Amino acid sequence: MTTEYDLETARPRGGRMPRRERRAQLLDSALEVFVAQGYHAAAMDDIADKAGVSKPVLYQHFPGKLELYLALLEQSCDAMIGKVREALDSTQDNRDRVERTVHAFYDYVASESGAYRLIFESDLTNEPAVREQVDRVTNECSEAIAAVIAADTHLPEPAALLLAVSLVGMAQVSSRFWLDSQRRMNKDEAATFVGGLAWRGIAGYPKTDEQ
């Protein structure tokens, strides 16, 4: 049944595959094409060829290029946000939290998949649905960090959020600069260096009103 399996008649090499697996395969192939070519230059033909399927199979899952791009972007944004939340939850030591959060950005931009380009270097940010997803990374990462800052410093929510946005901006911009500068520093060394800078700033805020 087509509700469970794709029927690849045009290209036997594509074979039958459960829809969930096929969707994951198509997203992986689309990532390679979008990262290499950008949204505007990429074609559905290129993605179908990369996945080894016919265009009808591709269109069974995604009605158009924008829908495919948005599905991939959402997946990439979820991964970035998940890495930051994982870093925050991995320890109760706030210095470690800051450093691990910065490391999360460096690890993400250093990934061979290049998925970070969809979030931080998209050529389609004039599309509202794309802009919404890109902004979601900054907003949700910042909100998660702000909750920790507010709990430990008793700063009001607007102040905690401003510090969190600043930390996210520092981690994002510095990690992309590190990558663009051809990784002249070791990744972990660079992330630890920037994490130390961030910690020295945030550590200046007291944990209680009495301190």
Condensed to tens digits (0 to 9), the pLDDT of residues 99-121 reads: 999 999 999 999 999 999 999 99
Confidence of residue 6 (pLDDT cuts 50, 70, 90): very low
DSSP string, 177-207: HHHHTT--S-HHHHHHHHHHHHHHHHTTS-S
Sign of the Cα torsion 78, 170, 116, 92 reads negative
pLDDT (mean) for 53-82: 95
Task: Say if residues 171 and 105 touch (Cβ distance below 8 Å).
Answer: yes
pLDDT at position 207 is: 66
pTM comes to 0.86
What is the tens place of the pLDDT at every residue in 146-185?
Answer: 999 999 999 999 999 999 999 999 999 999 999 999 888 9
Burial class (CB in 10 A: 0-12, 13-18, 19+), 1: exposed
What's the pLDDT score for residue 204?
86
